Amino acid sequence: MTRRDSLRRDSLTRYLVEKQHVDGHIPPQLRLLIEIVARACKRISFAVNKGALGEIMGNAGSENVQGEAQKKLDIIANETLIEANEWGGHLAAMASEEMETIYVVPNRYPQGEYLLLFDPLDGSSNIDVNVSIGTIFSVLKKPEGHPGVDQSDFLQAGCQQVAAGYCIYGPQTTLVLTVGDGVAMFTLDREQGSFILTEENVRIPEDTKEFAINMSNMRHWEAPMQRYIEECLQGEEGVRGKNFNMRWIASMVSDVHRIMTRGGIFMYPWDKREPNKPGKLRLLYEANPMGWLIEQAGGAATNARQRILDIQPQALHERVSVVLGSKNEVEQVTRYHLEADQAKA
Protein backbone atom coordinates (compact mmCIF):
# COMPACT_ATOMS: atom_id res chain seq x y z
CA MET A 1 0.00 0.00 0.00
CA THR A 2 1.34 3.44 -0.85
CA ARG A 3 1.41 6.25 1.69
CA ARG A 4 -1.36 7.97 -0.24
CA ASP A 5 -3.55 4.83 0.02
CA SER A 6 -3.02 4.69 3.75
CA LEU A 7 -3.92 8.38 4.08
CA ARG A 8 -7.11 7.72 2.15
CA ARG A 9 -8.30 5.16 4.68
CA ASP A 10 -11.08 6.32 6.94
CA SER A 11 -10.59 6.81 10.64
CA LEU A 12 -13.28 5.74 13.10
CA THR A 13 -14.04 9.46 13.55
CA ARG A 14 -14.66 9.95 9.84
CA TYR A 15 -16.75 6.77 9.62
CA LEU A 16 -18.94 7.98 12.49
CA VAL A 17 -19.22 11.54 11.16
CA GLU A 18 -20.41 10.12 7.82
CA LYS A 19 -22.88 7.85 9.61
CA GLN A 20 -24.16 10.95 11.38
CA HIS A 21 -24.26 13.46 8.52
CA VAL A 22 -24.49 11.46 5.32
CA ASP A 23 -26.56 8.46 6.37
CA GLY A 24 -28.38 10.24 9.23
CA HIS A 25 -27.93 6.96 11.04
CA ILE A 26 -26.62 8.08 14.41
CA PRO A 27 -27.30 11.13 16.57
CA PRO A 28 -24.32 13.26 17.72
CA GLN A 29 -24.47 11.99 21.33
CA LEU A 30 -24.16 8.40 20.16
CA ARG A 31 -21.24 9.31 17.93
CA LEU A 32 -19.51 10.91 20.92
CA LEU A 33 -20.26 7.87 23.06
CA ILE A 34 -18.70 5.45 20.57
CA GLU A 35 -15.63 7.65 20.16
CA ILE A 36 -15.15 7.79 23.92
CA VAL A 37 -15.55 4.02 24.30
CA ALA A 38 -12.97 3.59 21.53
CA ARG A 39 -10.59 5.96 23.31
CA ALA A 40 -10.98 3.97 26.53
CA CYS A 41 -10.31 0.74 24.61
CA LYS A 42 -7.14 2.29 23.26
CA ARG A 43 -5.98 2.96 26.81
CA ILE A 44 -6.88 -0.58 27.88
CA SER A 45 -4.98 -1.92 24.88
CA PHE A 46 -1.82 -0.07 25.95
CA ALA A 47 -2.21 -1.34 29.53
CA VAL A 48 -2.71 -4.94 28.35
CA ASN A 49 0.29 -4.58 26.07
CA LYS A 50 2.61 -3.48 28.88
CA GLY A 51 2.14 -6.83 30.58
CA ALA A 52 4.65 -7.59 33.30
CA LEU A 53 6.33 -4.19 32.73
CA GLY A 54 3.28 -2.37 33.98
CA GLU A 55 2.72 -4.16 37.30
CA ILE A 56 -0.76 -5.01 36.11
CA MET A 57 -0.59 -8.80 36.05
CA GLY A 58 -2.14 -11.20 38.54
CA ASN A 59 -5.12 -11.18 40.87
CA ALA A 60 -6.45 -8.06 42.55
CA GLY A 61 -7.35 -10.09 45.65
CA SER A 62 -11.08 -9.31 45.32
CA GLU A 63 -14.16 -10.99 43.84
CA ASN A 64 -16.85 -9.55 41.56
CA VAL A 65 -20.62 -9.95 42.08
CA GLN A 66 -20.50 -13.30 40.26
CA GLY A 67 -18.01 -14.65 42.82
CA GLU A 68 -15.14 -14.67 40.30
CA ALA A 69 -11.63 -13.60 41.29
CA GLN A 70 -10.87 -10.19 39.81
CA LYS A 71 -7.60 -9.62 37.99
CA LYS A 72 -5.83 -6.28 38.41
CA LEU A 73 -6.52 -5.61 34.74
CA ASP A 74 -10.26 -6.29 35.19
CA ILE A 75 -10.36 -3.41 37.65
CA ILE A 76 -8.11 -1.12 35.59
CA ALA A 77 -10.27 -1.71 32.48
CA ASN A 78 -13.48 -1.08 34.43
CA GLU A 79 -12.17 2.18 35.89
CA THR A 80 -10.83 3.31 32.52
CA LEU A 81 -14.26 2.89 30.92
CA ILE A 82 -16.05 4.68 33.75
CA GLU A 83 -13.62 7.61 33.95
CA ALA A 84 -13.67 8.09 30.18
CA ASN A 85 -17.47 8.05 29.95
CA GLU A 86 -18.84 9.77 33.04
CA TRP A 87 -18.22 13.43 32.16
CA GLY A 88 -19.18 13.69 28.46
CA GLY A 89 -22.91 14.38 28.92
CA HIS A 90 -23.92 11.47 26.66
CA LEU A 91 -24.75 8.93 29.38
CA ALA A 92 -27.29 8.50 32.16
CA ALA A 93 -25.67 5.42 33.72
CA MET A 94 -23.38 2.43 33.18
CA ALA A 95 -23.43 -1.25 34.13
CA SER A 96 -20.49 -3.63 34.17
CA GLU A 97 -19.66 -7.27 34.84
CA GLU A 98 -17.34 -5.96 37.55
CA MET A 99 -19.95 -3.90 39.46
CA GLU A 100 -22.86 -5.28 41.43
CA THR A 101 -25.18 -2.32 40.79
CA ILE A 102 -25.43 0.33 38.12
CA TYR A 103 -23.17 3.39 38.11
CA VAL A 104 -25.26 6.54 37.75
CA VAL A 105 -23.43 9.52 36.23
CA PRO A 106 -22.65 11.82 39.20
CA ASN A 107 -24.68 15.05 39.57
CA ARG A 108 -21.64 17.23 38.93
CA TYR A 109 -21.66 16.09 35.27
CA PRO A 110 -24.33 16.64 32.61
CA GLN A 111 -26.69 13.70 32.08
CA GLY A 112 -27.36 12.13 28.68
CA GLU A 113 -29.95 9.76 27.29
CA TYR A 114 -27.87 6.61 26.79
CA LEU A 115 -27.02 3.60 28.94
CA LEU A 116 -23.68 1.85 28.48
CA LEU A 117 -23.13 -1.78 29.49
CA PHE A 118 -19.81 -3.59 29.31
CA ASP A 119 -17.65 -6.52 30.17
CA PRO A 120 -14.46 -4.47 30.60
CA LEU A 121 -12.07 -7.38 30.05
CA ASP A 122 -13.63 -10.59 28.80
CA GLY A 123 -11.58 -13.78 28.97
CA SER A 124 -9.43 -12.29 31.70
CA SER A 125 -8.31 -15.74 32.87
CA ASN A 126 -6.11 -15.54 29.74
CA ILE A 127 -4.25 -12.35 30.72
CA ASP A 128 -1.36 -14.03 32.45
CA VAL A 129 -0.80 -16.51 29.60
CA ASN A 130 -0.67 -13.77 26.94
CA VAL A 131 -3.70 -14.90 24.94
CA SER A 132 -6.07 -12.43 23.25
CA ILE A 133 -8.74 -10.84 25.44
CA GLY A 134 -11.21 -8.04 24.83
CA THR A 135 -13.78 -5.46 25.90
CA ILE A 136 -17.45 -6.06 24.99
CA PHE A 137 -20.01 -3.23 25.06
CA SER A 138 -23.68 -2.59 24.42
CA VAL A 139 -25.57 0.72 24.21
CA LEU A 140 -29.25 1.22 25.04
CA LYS A 141 -31.44 4.29 25.18
CA LYS A 142 -32.81 5.21 28.59
CA PRO A 143 -36.58 4.61 28.45
CA GLU A 144 -38.63 7.80 28.62
CA GLY A 145 -41.43 8.47 31.05
CA HIS A 146 -39.70 8.79 34.41
CA PRO A 147 -37.04 11.11 35.82
CA GLY A 148 -33.66 9.75 36.90
CA VAL A 149 -32.39 6.30 36.08
CA ASP A 150 -32.57 2.93 37.82
CA GLN A 151 -31.60 -0.68 37.27
CA SER A 152 -34.90 -1.58 35.59
CA ASP A 153 -34.02 0.84 32.73
CA PHE A 154 -31.27 -1.60 31.74
CA LEU A 155 -33.61 -4.59 31.47
CA GLN A 156 -34.30 -4.21 27.76
CA ALA A 157 -34.24 -6.98 25.16
CA GLY A 158 -31.14 -7.07 22.93
CA CYS A 159 -33.18 -5.98 19.89
CA GLN A 160 -33.40 -2.53 21.55
CA GLN A 161 -29.62 -1.96 21.34
CA VAL A 162 -28.56 1.13 19.40
CA ALA A 163 -24.86 0.25 19.19
CA ALA A 164 -22.73 -2.74 20.15
CA GLY A 165 -19.17 -3.82 19.71
CA TYR A 166 -16.04 -5.38 21.05
CA CYS A 167 -12.38 -4.52 21.01
CA ILE A 168 -9.96 -7.42 20.80
CA TYR A 169 -6.47 -7.02 22.29
CA GLY A 170 -4.43 -9.51 20.28
CA PRO A 171 -1.54 -9.38 17.83
CA GLN A 172 -3.53 -6.39 16.53
CA THR A 173 -6.04 -4.31 18.47
CA THR A 174 -9.28 -4.35 16.48
CA LEU A 175 -12.56 -2.61 17.23
CA VAL A 176 -15.63 -4.32 15.76
CA LEU A 177 -18.76 -2.20 15.69
CA THR A 178 -22.40 -2.14 14.66
CA VAL A 179 -24.89 0.70 14.82
CA GLY A 180 -27.52 -1.43 13.10
CA ASP A 181 -26.46 -1.26 9.48
CA GLY A 182 -23.84 -3.98 9.20
CA VAL A 183 -20.53 -4.60 10.92
CA ALA A 184 -17.32 -2.61 10.45
CA MET A 185 -13.81 -3.36 11.75
CA PHE A 186 -11.21 -0.76 12.74
CA THR A 187 -7.56 -1.59 13.41
CA LEU A 188 -5.60 0.48 15.91
CA ASP A 189 -2.72 2.28 14.23
CA ARG A 190 -0.35 2.68 17.15
CA GLU A 191 1.82 5.29 15.43
CA GLN A 192 -1.13 7.55 14.62
CA GLY A 193 -3.00 6.61 17.77
CA SER A 194 -6.27 6.17 15.90
CA PHE A 195 -8.60 3.39 14.81
CA ILE A 196 -8.61 2.98 11.02
CA LEU A 197 -11.45 1.37 9.06
CA THR A 198 -10.05 -1.90 7.70
CA GLU A 199 -13.21 -3.83 6.83
CA GLU A 200 -16.81 -2.93 6.11
CA ASN A 201 -19.91 -5.08 5.56
CA VAL A 202 -18.39 -8.07 7.36
CA ARG A 203 -20.22 -11.26 6.31
CA ILE A 204 -20.18 -14.63 8.08
CA PRO A 205 -20.53 -17.66 5.76
CA GLU A 206 -23.81 -19.50 6.35
CA ASP A 207 -22.10 -22.90 6.49
CA THR A 208 -19.04 -23.95 8.42
CA LYS A 209 -16.93 -26.94 9.40
CA GLU A 210 -15.55 -25.38 12.59
CA PHE A 211 -17.07 -25.48 16.05
CA ALA A 212 -16.04 -23.92 19.38
CA ILE A 213 -17.19 -25.38 22.68
CA ASN A 214 -15.57 -26.41 25.96
CA MET A 215 -15.58 -30.16 25.27
CA SER A 216 -14.58 -31.02 28.83
CA ASN A 217 -18.18 -30.25 29.87
CA MET A 218 -19.74 -32.69 27.38
CA ARG A 219 -21.00 -35.14 29.98
CA HIS A 220 -22.93 -32.32 31.68
CA TRP A 221 -24.83 -31.05 28.59
CA GLU A 222 -28.40 -31.72 27.52
CA ALA A 223 -28.95 -34.63 25.10
CA PRO A 224 -29.54 -32.45 21.96
CA MET A 225 -26.27 -30.59 22.57
CA GLN A 226 -24.44 -33.91 22.94
CA ARG A 227 -26.11 -35.17 19.77
CA TYR A 228 -24.96 -32.16 17.73
CA ILE A 229 -21.33 -32.47 18.83
CA GLU A 230 -21.28 -36.27 18.48
CA GLU A 231 -22.46 -35.87 14.88
CA CYS A 232 -19.73 -33.30 14.20
CA LEU A 233 -17.14 -35.69 15.63
CA GLN A 234 -18.30 -38.53 13.33
CA GLY A 235 -16.94 -36.52 10.40
CA GLU A 236 -17.25 -37.70 6.81
CA GLU A 237 -18.45 -41.15 7.83
CA GLY A 238 -21.33 -39.80 9.94
CA VAL A 239 -24.71 -38.20 9.22
CA ARG A 240 -23.15 -34.77 8.58
CA GLY A 241 -20.95 -36.18 5.81
CA LYS A 242 -18.12 -33.72 6.48
CA ASN A 243 -15.12 -33.40 8.75
CA PHE A 244 -15.25 -30.71 11.44
CA ASN A 245 -12.40 -28.82 13.06
CA MET A 246 -12.50 -27.63 16.68
CA ARG A 247 -11.19 -24.40 18.24
CA TRP A 248 -11.65 -23.20 21.85
CA ILE A 249 -9.70 -20.17 23.06
CA ALA A 250 -11.71 -19.74 26.29
CA SER A 251 -11.92 -16.05 25.45
CA MET A 252 -15.30 -15.28 23.88
CA VAL A 253 -14.04 -12.18 22.11
CA SER A 254 -11.32 -14.24 20.38
CA ASP A 255 -13.69 -17.08 19.46
CA VAL A 256 -16.27 -14.62 18.10
CA HIS A 257 -13.60 -12.69 16.22
CA ARG A 258 -12.51 -15.89 14.46
CA ILE A 259 -16.14 -16.50 13.48
CA MET A 260 -16.43 -12.91 12.20
CA THR A 261 -13.33 -13.53 10.12
CA ARG A 262 -13.96 -16.99 8.65
CA GLY A 263 -17.23 -18.39 10.03
CA GLY A 264 -17.85 -21.10 12.61
CA ILE A 265 -20.18 -21.82 15.50
CA PHE A 266 -19.60 -20.91 19.16
CA MET A 267 -21.54 -22.55 21.99
CA TYR A 268 -21.62 -22.11 25.74
CA PRO A 269 -24.70 -24.16 26.68
CA TRP A 270 -26.53 -24.72 29.92
CA ASP A 271 -25.14 -27.69 31.80
CA LYS A 272 -26.19 -29.68 34.81
CA ARG A 273 -23.30 -28.75 37.07
CA GLU A 274 -25.25 -25.64 38.06
CA PRO A 275 -28.81 -26.47 36.95
CA ASN A 276 -30.29 -23.20 38.23
CA LYS A 277 -28.02 -21.06 36.06
CA PRO A 278 -29.24 -20.80 32.45
CA GLY A 279 -25.61 -20.68 31.26
CA LYS A 280 -22.22 -19.16 32.03
CA LEU A 281 -22.21 -16.05 29.87
CA ARG A 282 -24.08 -12.89 30.78
CA LEU A 283 -27.05 -11.76 28.69
CA LEU A 284 -26.84 -7.98 28.85
CA TYR A 285 -23.16 -7.28 28.24
CA GLU A 286 -21.88 -10.45 26.57
CA ALA A 287 -24.59 -12.36 24.67
CA ASN A 288 -26.68 -9.37 23.51
CA PRO A 289 -23.89 -7.31 21.95
CA MET A 290 -22.21 -10.39 20.44
CA GLY A 291 -25.58 -11.72 19.25
CA TRP A 292 -26.42 -8.46 17.50
CA LEU A 293 -22.99 -8.19 15.86
CA ILE A 294 -23.30 -11.78 14.61
CA GLU A 295 -26.81 -11.14 13.21
CA GLN A 296 -25.66 -7.93 11.57
CA ALA A 297 -22.96 -9.95 9.80
CA GLY A 298 -25.52 -12.46 8.51
CA GLY A 299 -25.16 -15.07 11.26
CA ALA A 300 -27.60 -16.19 13.96
CA ALA A 301 -27.62 -16.24 17.77
CA THR A 302 -29.93 -18.27 20.02
CA ASN A 303 -30.03 -19.65 23.53
CA ALA A 304 -30.48 -23.07 21.83
CA ARG A 305 -34.25 -22.47 21.72
CA GLN A 306 -35.02 -18.82 20.95
CA ARG A 307 -33.34 -15.78 19.45
CA ILE A 308 -31.11 -14.17 22.09
CA LEU A 309 -32.12 -10.64 21.07
CA ASP A 310 -35.80 -11.42 21.89
CA ILE A 311 -35.16 -12.47 25.49
CA GLN A 312 -36.67 -10.08 28.04
CA PRO A 313 -34.02 -9.73 30.78
CA GLN A 314 -35.10 -10.10 34.42
CA ALA A 315 -31.84 -9.15 36.13
CA LEU A 316 -28.73 -7.09 35.43
CA HIS A 317 -26.28 -9.98 35.67
CA GLU A 318 -28.60 -12.63 34.20
CA ARG A 319 -26.90 -15.55 32.49
CA VAL A 320 -27.89 -17.27 29.28
CA SER A 321 -26.99 -20.24 27.06
CA VAL A 322 -25.28 -19.08 23.90
CA VAL A 323 -25.22 -20.62 20.42
CA LEU A 324 -23.99 -18.20 17.76
CA GLY A 325 -22.24 -18.00 14.42
CA SER A 326 -22.82 -19.43 10.93
CA LYS A 327 -26.56 -19.41 10.36
CA ASN A 328 -27.20 -22.96 9.15
CA GLU A 329 -25.29 -24.57 12.03
CA VAL A 330 -26.97 -22.38 14.66
CA GLU A 331 -30.35 -23.31 13.19
CA GLN A 332 -29.43 -27.01 13.31
CA VAL A 333 -28.46 -26.88 17.01
CA THR A 334 -31.62 -24.91 17.81
CA ARG A 335 -33.79 -27.36 15.86
CA TYR A 336 -32.32 -30.34 17.77
CA HIS A 337 -33.29 -28.69 21.07
CA LEU A 338 -36.81 -27.77 19.97
CA GLU A 339 -37.40 -31.27 18.54
CA ALA A 340 -36.24 -32.84 21.80
CA ASP A 341 -38.62 -30.53 23.75
CA GLN A 342 -41.50 -31.53 21.50
CA ALA A 343 -40.75 -35.23 21.89
CA LYS A 344 -40.83 -34.81 25.69
CA ALA A 345 -44.13 -32.83 25.68
Give me the residues that bind Mg ion (CB under 5 A), please: 119, 122
Q: Which of residues 91-130 bind ligand AHM (CB under 6 A)?
A: 97, 119, 122-124
Minimum Å gap between C-beta 255 and Mg ion is: 12
Binding flag, residue 62, ligand AHM (CB under 6 A): no
Minimum Å gap between C-beta 268 and ligand AHM is: 6
The residue range among 139-147, 191-199, 248-256, 330-338 that interacts with ligand AHM, by the rule CB under 6 A, is: 248-256
**Residue 86 interacting entry, from Mg ion, ligand AHM, none, C-beta within 5 to 8 Å by type:** none
For residue 187, the SS3 value is: strand
* Partner residues linked to 96 by β-bridges: 118
Which uninterrupted H or E stretch holds 53? none
DSSP assignments along 209-263, one per residue: SEEE--GGGGGGS-HHHHHHHHHHHHGGGSTT-S--EE---S-HHHHHHHHHHH-
Buried b (16+ CB within 10 A) or exposed e, 162-200: bbbbbbbbbeebbbbbbbeeebbbbbbbeeeebbbbbee
Of the candidate residues 63, 68, 200, 341, the single one contacting ligand AHM (CB under 6 A): 68
Residue with smaller CB distance to ligand AHM, 251 or 296: 251
Which uninterrupted H or E stretch holds 276? none
**Residue 250 interacting entry, from Mg ion, ligand AHM, none, C-beta within 5 to 8 Å by type:** ligand AHM
Residue with smaller CB distance to ligand AHM, 52 or 250: 250
Binding flag, residue 214, ligand AHM (CB under 6 A): yes
**Residue 68 interacting entry, from ligand AHM, Mg ion, none, C-beta within 5 to 8 Å by type:** ligand AHM
Minimum Å gap between C-beta 299 and ligand AHM is: 17
Which uninterrupted H or E stretch holds 331? helix 327-344
Residue with smaller CB distance to ligand AHM, 68 or 339: 68
Minimum Å gap between C-beta 282 and Mg ion is: 7
Residue with smaller CB distance to ligand AHM, 216 or 314: 216
Of the candidate residues 229, 252, 284, 324, the single one contacting ligand AHM (CB under 6 A): 252
**Residue 214 interacting entry, from Mg ion, ligand AHM, none, C-beta within 5 to 8 Å by type:** ligand AHM
**Residue at shortest CB range from ligand AHM:** 252
Q: Give, in degrees to the nearest 5, the angle at Cα 166 between 123 and 175.
A: 120
Taking a C-beta distance cutoff of 8 angstroms, is the pair 166, 286 a contact? no
Buried b (16+ CB within 10 A) or exposed e, 207-237: ebbbbbbeeeeeeebbebbebbbebbeeeee
Taking the C-alpha atoms of residue 302 and residue 306, their distance in angstroms, rounded to an integer, is 5
The residue range among 106-114, 173-181, 250-258, 299-307 that interacts with ligand AHM, by the rule CB under 6 A, is: 250-258
Question: What torsion, rounded to 10 degrees, do the Cα atoms 290, 294, 297, 300 define?
Answer: -160
Taking a C-beta distance cutoff of 8 angstroms, is the pair 140, 117 a contact? yes
Residue with smaller CB distance to Mg ion, 119 or 153: 119
Binding site for ligand AHM (CB under 6 A): 68, 97, 119, 122-124, 214, 250-252, 268
